[in-house]
Amino acid sequence: SKTLRLILGDQLNSNHSWFQTTDDSVTYVMMEVRSETDYTSHHIQKIVSFFSAMQNFAKELQSKNHQVIYFHLSDANNFQSFDKNLNYLIEKENFSHFEYQLPDEYRLDELLKNFCQTLVISYSTVDSEHFMSSRKELGDFFEGKKNFLMESFYHFMRKKHNVLMQGDKPLTGKWNYDDDNRKKLPKNHKPIPPLVFDNNVSEIVTEINKTNIKTIGTIDAKQFVWPTTRAQSLALLDFFVTECLSLFGSYQDAMTPNEWSLYHSRISFSMNVKLISPLEVINRAIEEWKNRPDEIAYHQLEGFVRQIIGWREYVRGIYWHKMPEFATMNYFDNQEKLPDWFWTGKTKMNCLKDSINQSLNFAYAHHIQRLMITGNFALLAGVHPDEVDAWYLGIYIDAIEWVEITNTRGMSQFADGGIVATKPYVSSAAYIDKMSHYCGSCFYKKAVKTGDKACPFNSLYWNFYDKNEDKLGKNPRIGMMYNVWHKMKPEDKVALLQQADYYLKNINDL
């Protein structure tokens, strides 16, 4: 009998039990296909990093004597979709059994399930052996509960995996150290330059250009900065724990112009394609903290561990619990288009200019830029969540639907009506100024609410609350804002709403 095993582009887990033995009757297949490059407009660096990592992974498997069939993008026999290529191979090579790892994306899960229904040969599925919770675990955990509080799921995960625990109590007695984190960068603080790679990816870039795939953003093909192998991913993780972890928590929410990475790990791509696993990531961080307790404070470590075994596992659980409905949610019934400058960075708003330009240049922005700059603006501007999702799904190196949509539609746009977040993440200029150095050199004035140079965030913020009072007015976490709004002088309210209206009508000129 002959078995065909499919490896998807985000299943590059060399520690998977599949690969622990070689077997002449087993063939692996990997494919670069147009159905994946074209389901949204991706950043060129995103396509390149996937294909490059896939090619390296295939070579690694071959060097370990596994049999691998690899479809390159412009191969003559490439039918450009998983099912067509699989059918072609199964027939041509007479495979008698088909296997795949459970995908992380709903779309591919359905596609492969349906494909298997059409097969005349036998088939089976296996786990991807990457996550620390199963698809169903979050749904089971919150069964019968009204809220899906991340914090309680995080406690459950800490206990389940015995991470930073003392018996059944959190080490140090406290679960969460966010109060010690979230500082602005000191004025003349120069963050450590990020570790970047200089991968030559010219061949892939040429192939992508030749096939006329529509992409966004820029790339330096001779010095591609992202890791494309497990060894590079581990080097990046090592750089993070040795150089950045000691300040990670403190400056996790800080933003400053022309610094694209700060103390963030930038391991989301490596983890999302499974070159490295969440368990080895947190173990490496904990080991470093144990080795250098005087240099790495516990709150820096806890903040990092929470992102990985808390947030990351949590959003995945929400995804499987709420899809496919989740992808259609639009709580505020927002209908606007994204401003054109989301694709060019050409806006006078310094915070958005910086965050968008760095996204176009590096396919990366850190969490607070995604949440409190671009996401905040899109929500205040009433942009349709489909538009917002498409942008985030395309532009970021780490964007795969399970983690993109839950963060974007859920956490950032509140389109799920409060499944992921307990209140919308919106702010005026005050918060942006508190966490960043963007406002000082901006065309707009952070403290001005109406008139010529008024910061758009200020009027759009009040306009958002006013417009959505029927949906938010009863939320206890927002009550205070409505008190402020209601107490404002009527003429001030009118001026703010008029200003917002003017900005919304001229949004492409901001």
Binding residues (CB under 6 A) for ligand SF4: these are 349-351, 429, 432-433, 438-439, 442, 444, 446, 455, 457
**Contact partner, 411, from ligand SF4, ligand FAD, none, Cβ < 5-8 Å per class:** ligand FAD
Cα-based distances in Å from 134 to 140, 209, 356, 435 = 10, 39, 34, 36
Q: Is 399 in the site for ligand FAD (CB under 6 A)?
A: yes
**Cβ closer to ligand SF4: 37 or 350?**
350
Residue selected from 367, 445, 467, 471 as contacting ligand FAD according to rule CB under 6 A: 367
- Residue at token pair 């590059």: 12
Site string for ligand FAD, 276-315 (x = CB under 6 A): -------------------------------xx--xx--x
Distance CA 30, CA 23 (A): 17
Greatest alpha-carbon span in the chain:
80
Site string for ligand FAD, 230-269 (x = CB under 6 A): ----------------------------------xxxxx-
CB of 268 to ligand FAD, least distance (A): 3
CB of 178 to ligand SF4, least distance (A): 23
User: Which of 421, 410, 317 shows the shortest CA–CA distance to 104?
Assistant: 317
Any idea how long the chain is? Answer: 510
211: helix, strand or coil = coil
Distance CA 133, CA 160 (A): 9
**Contact partner, 267, from ligand SF4, ligand FAD, none, Cβ < 5-8 Å per class:** ligand FAD
Question: What's the half-sphere exposure (Cβ side, CA atoms, 13 Å) at 388?
Answer: 34
Q: Which helix (H) or strand (E) holds 99?
A: strand 97-101
Query: What is the Cα 385 distance to its own chain's centre?
Result: 16
Q: Is 371 in the site for ligand FAD (CB under 6 A)?
A: yes
Which one-letter DSSP state was computed for residue 365? -
**Cβ closer to ligand FAD: 119 or 327?**
327
CB of 410 to ligand FAD, least distance (A): 9
Q: Exposed, middle or buried: residue 173 (CB in 10 Å: 0-12, 13-18, 19+)?
A: exposed
**Number of neighbours of residue 332 by Cβ within 10 angstroms:** 19
CB of 400 to ligand FAD, least distance (A): 6
**Of 20-28, 216-224, 394-402, 502-510: span binding ligand FAD (CB under 6 A):** 394-402
Give the residues lining the site for ligand FAD (CB under 6 A).
Answer: 264-268, 271-272, 307-308, 311-312, 315, 366-367, 370-371, 375, 392, 396, 398-399, 403-404, 407-408, 411-412
